[in-house]
Amino acid sequence: MAQQILVTGGAGFLGSHLIERLLDRGDYVLCVDNFFTGTRRNVEHLMDHRHFELMRHDVCFPLYVEVDQIYNLACPASPIHYQHDPVQTTKTSVHGAINMLGLAKRVRAKILQASTSEVYGDPAIHPQVESYWGNVNPIGIRSCYDEGKRCAETLFFDYHRQHKLNIKVVRIFNTYGPRMHPQDGRVVSNFIIQALQGQDITIFGEGLQTRSFCYRDDLVEGMIRMMDTPDAITGPINIGNPGEFTIRALAEQIIELTGSKSKLAFRPLPSDDPMQRQPDISQAEALLGWKPTVPLREGLVKTIDYFEKLLKEEPLH
């Protein structure tokens, strides 16, 4: 049976792909976005779809609609964007969670929070398991995002305990793919743009810090599976690719795939940048029957193709 589904942050990189999947299976989708980092271009091709509706709205303010499910993705997710206005970032995470949880409580909707691996901070255990409480700096330049998302998780579980709300929480690890913002400062988009433009590839530190990169299709599949689990499964559950790569190895692979003549340029490591990031996905495998299927090389080829076309249409200055 078709569901009425609200996706906040729906015009963003992940939100737009999630909406496509929901529409493909016959659901009605209300996309809510204030276009701080999302863009109308990401959902323009859906505007004529009879099950799709777009609303410009900031989740820091209450919303009154009738829905069966809520995917709460609203929040800038890259350091450049969330550090641009850190107070607003915290408000989006915390006030946004309060408003969406209030809506879910009023209409008895099931609600999923798109949390983040950043709740683990610079982890003292590796790989990261959901039971790990994290090692987070509460007053650093990344804290608006890290602590905002941690507080949102707190709110979700308090609403669950206090109001018996049906909640789902996923912790998203590094994700990449077409429709990433070309100037979001994330490592995959940064490296691809620099390589395609023949610029030096900027690497912080010695490039020995590791990340795990999950292709967008795998990530969306994990979120939908989590939403569709029985009520007793609340999470948090890690969603990400456990394949671990150094930043330097990623840069070298992108140079090879683009055929670029770019060189590696090393810069000082930013404050609070975690050295290791790798999800333990045993819970996702056991409870969701989920694991990523797209290898890094295959996903990078598709992402490079997207950015090549984008740069031809809209050159960056």
Any idea which residues carry the catalytic annotation? 145
**Maximal CA-CA distance, the chain:** 58
Neighbouring CB atoms inside 10 A of 100's CB total 28
Under a CB-based contact definition with an 8 Å cutoff, are residues 195 and 201 in contact? yes
Please identify which residue in the block is written with the tokens 């590839």.
201
Under a CB-based contact definition with an 8 Å cutoff, are residues 47 and 70 in contact? no
Query: Could you give the 3-state DSSP secondary structure of residue 19?
Result: helix
User: For residue 265, which of 244, 249, 248 has the smallest C-alpha distance?
Assistant: 248
Tally helices (H) and strands (E) across the chain. 9, 13
Identity of the residue numbered 266: F
d(CA 99, CA 60) in angstroms, rounded, equals 7
Under a CB-based contact definition with an 8 Å cutoff, are residues 196 and 258 in contact? yes
d(CA 90, CA 92) in angstroms, rounded, equals 5
Taken in order 37, 42, 46, 48, the sign of the CA dihedral is positive
**Rounded (10°) angle between helices 187-196 and 247-258:** 40
